Structure formats: structure tokens, C-alpha cells
Structure 1
Amino acid sequence: MFWFMQGLCSLPAFLVIWSSSTFIVSYLIALLRGDVDIIFPYISDTGANPPESCIFGLMTFISACAGTATIYARYKYVEKLSEETRVVSPCLNKSALYIGMLSCLGMCIVATFQETTVTIAHDFGALLFFVSGVSYICLQTAISYKAYPFGSSMTVIGVRLFIATLATVAFFPTVICAFFVKQTKLHRDPEDKDYPYHVASAVCEWTVAFSFICFFLTYIDDFKLFTLKVKTEYEGHS
């Protein structure tokens, strides 16, 4: 049996590959069309103009759906793991589920409202995505530690802790520096006074986004260990 056919590991694998492709494909199209600068555009800048905006929106929505499925599967895995061992509090597990779902909702908002059309809605969705996403991976790191020695190895837990720390540290410059960026144009001039803030914010934004992707990459081994089944019950009328 191939590794991607074991358990549900194909779910986080698809999420990682598809999400990475979403950022890279929209960036390459925008770059080839001359819609963004080659160095440090915001992620949203790469999906601001058609046709890349259409591709970015569609692929981001699919990523949100895959993320929802992965987050729910992780929730059910931890729930099953804790049925007999009681290593993880159900409240903590549900909190991570709800916060993860909020992050996916933020992705849907970002996909629906482009940066240059409905800026307020887009910025709200992006903020919801990043705040909830960082909170989710921090909670999942705590859950992994509490579940040890069941579930993930200490090496994987250490990797998750590093990724969660990196995402948390990078999140604050992303938001703080963005407040000092006065220009909203896609092509930036290094002579602009707010250019250093733009670069710092954009670099940190890409760092946070790919931290999420790397975090879900660590799910693959865990997802090899279980499957989910749908149970259908029909109550017919006599």
C-alpha cells in the first residue's frame, strides 16, 4: 500500500500541496502579467486583478474546504484518542475545532472579497484567518503535548512548537507594520517612506502563511493511523 493510501493521510497531504500551489500559482501569474513586483508583494496583491484573482479565489475556497475537513478529522482523532486515556480535555479539543473553523471562514471571506474591490471585508477576513490560524496551531501544539506518549512523537511535537512559535512571532509585525503602510498600490517604489514597513509586513505575512502549511504537513503521520466512517440511520414510517 502506498503511503498516501494509509488512513486519512491523503487529506493533509492534499491540503499542503493545494494551499502551496494557491500562493505560488497566483504569484507567478501576477508576476508574468506585470501586476505585482517580483520582490515582496502581499499575498492578496497576487490575487487582486483578473485573471489571477479568479484563480486565487477558487483555489483559496478549495483550500478552505480541505482545511475544514482536515481540522474536523483531527478533532475526531483526538476525541477517539482521549476516550479511554482522558489525556486531552474535550473542552480544549472543541475549542481548537471552533477556532480552526473560524480560520477557514476567514479564508472564504478572503477568497470572495478581493483586496481592491471590498477592502474592509477582505482585511477583516485576512485578520480572522491569521488570528484564528495562529491560535489554532498553538492549541494543537498544546494538545499534542498533553496527548504524549499517545499520538505524535516528541520530535513531531517539537517541530510543531517551533512552527507555532515562528507563526506567532511573525504575526505581530505583519499586523503592526501594515498599519504604517499608507500606499495601497500594487507596485511599490523603494523611495516611498512606508516601503520598509511594507516589506517587513509582507515578508512576515508569507512566513505566517507557510507556517500554517508546514504545520499541517506534520499531520500526515498521525492521519495514517485512523479512518472516519459515515453512519447512516433511516427511520422509516410504518
Structure 2
Amino acid sequence: MFWFTQGLCFLPAFLVVWSSSTFIIAYLIALLRHDVDAVFPYISDTGANPPESCIFGLMTFIAACAAAATVYSRYKYVEKLTRESNVLKASLNKAALVLGMISCLGMCVVATFQETAVEAVHDVGALLFFVPGVVYTILQSVISYRVFPFRSSVCLCRARLTIAVVATVALFPTAICAYFGRQPTLHRDTKDEGYPFYLASAICEWIVAFSFIFFFLTYIDDFKLFTLQVITEYEE
């Protein structure tokens, strides 16, 4: 039996591979078409102009759907652990579910509204994606420690906490430096006054994005242990 056929581990595995491909493919196409600069453009910049915007939008929407399925599956898995061991409050698990779903909604908004078309809506979507997403990683790190040693290891808890801390630390300069380094064009001149702020913001944005990816990577072993079933009931 192949490892990716065990339980539901194909969900986080697909999410990690697909999300990484989304960022990289959009970046490479935009770079080849000279739509963005080679050195750390914003992720949204790589999907601002067609045809990369079409590919970026479609792939990001699929990633958001996969993320929503993964977040929900994680919720049901923790719910089962909570019911059996009574080591965690259900409200904490539900809060993580809500924040995870809001982050997925933000991804859909980012995918649908390009920054060059409807910038205000795009920025709201990015805010919904990043802030609840980072808080989600923090809550899941707390949950991992709370359910230890049930289906969790010290190394896994520490890995999730480290990723959550990195994402949290990188989130603040992403937003703050973006405010001071905002420019109306996708191409930035290194001599511009706000270029250092822009560069710091863009680098931190990539760090936050890949922190999410690596965080979901830690779900793979857990997802090997369970499956979900849909039960249909007829009402007479």
C-alpha cells in the first residue's frame, strides 16, 4: 500500500504540492513575460496580468477548496480525540475551524479579484487570508500540545509551534512595510525611497505563505490514521 492511500493523508499532501505549484508556476510565467521583477515580487503581483492571472486564480481557488476540506477533516479528527480523551475544550477546536474557513474564504477572494482590477477587495481578501490563517496555526499548535500524547509527539508539537511563530513574526512586517512601500506599478525601481519597505514586505509575505504550506505538511501523519464517511438517511 502506498503511503498516500492511507486514511486521508492525500488531502494535506495534495494541498502542499498544489499550493506550492500555484505560487511557483504563476511566478515563472510572470517572470518569463517580464510582468514582474525577478527579486521577490508580491505573490499577488505574479497573478495580476493575464494569462498568469487566469492560471493563478484557478489554481488558488482549487487550493482554497483543498484547504477547506483539510481544515474540516482536521476539525473532525480533533473532535474525535476530544470525545474519547476529554483533554480539550470543544470551543477551541470550533474556533480553529471557523478561523481556518475564513482564511480559505480569503484565498477565494484573492483568487477572484486581482489587485490591478479591484484593489480594495483584493486587499480585504488578503487580510482575511493572512490574519485568520496565522491565528489558525497558533490555535492548532495549542491543540497539539493539549492532546499530547494522544496521537501527537513532542517533535510534531514543536514543529507546529515553530512554524506558527515564524508566520506570526513575519505577518507584522508584511502589513506594516506594505503600507510604507506601496507603489502603483508591478515593477519597482531599487532607487525608489520606499523600495526597502516593499522588499521587506514581499519577502515576509512569501515566508508567511510557505509557513502555511509547511504547517499543513505536518498533518500528513495524522491524516493516515482516519477516514470520513458520509451517511445518507431517508425520512419517511
Alignment TM class, shorter chain as reference = over 0.9
Q: CA deviation at 1:40?
A: 1.0
Aligned to 1:195: 195
1:106-125 to 2 correspondences below 5 Å? 106-125=106-125
Counterpart Cα distance in 1 of 2:15 and 2:104: 12
1:59-138 to 2 correspondences below 5 Å? 59-138=59-138
Counterpart Cα distance in 2 of 1:94 and 1:156: 21
Q: CA deviation at 1:129?
A: 0.3
Deviations 1:105-163 (A, max 9, x none): 00000001001000000000001100010000000000000000002211011000100
Aligned to 2:154: 154
Partner of 1:198, secondary structure, is helix
Aligned-residue CA RMSD (Å) = 0.6
Q: TM-score, normalising length from structure 2? A: 0.99
**AA at the equivalent of 1:159:** A
Give unmatched runs, 5+ long, in structure 2.
Answer: none
Partner of 2:181, secondary structure, is coil
Q: CA deviation at 1:183?
A: 1.3
Alignment size in residue pairs: 236
Runs (4+) of structure 1 exceeding 2 A deviation are none
Aligned to 2:213: 213
Counterpart Cα distance in 1 of 2:195 and 2:50: 25
**AA at the equivalent of 1:184:** P
Q: TM-score, normalising length from structure 1? A: 0.98
Aligned to 1:170: 170
Counterpart Cα distance in 1 of 2:218 and 2:103: 18
Q: 1:194 to 1:228 in 2, by over 3 A?
A: same
Aligned to 2:230: 230
Counterpart Cα distance in 2 of 1:211 and 1:161: 11
1:35-50 to 2 correspondences below 5 Å? 35-50=35-50
Contact persistence 2:182–2:198 (CA under 8 A): no
Give unmatched runs, 5+ long, in structure 1.
Answer: none
Counterpart Cα distance in 1 of 2:54 and 2:193: 32
Q: CA deviation at 1:84?
A: 2.0
Aligned to 1:25: 25
Counterpart Cα distance in 2 of 1:17 and 1:123: 25
Q: Among all aligned residue pairs of Structure 1 and Structure 2, give the percentage whose two residues are the same amino acid.
A: 70
**AA at the equivalent of 1:226:** F
Counterpart Cα distance in 1 of 2:52 and 2:115: 13
Q: CA deviation at 1:87?
A: 1.1
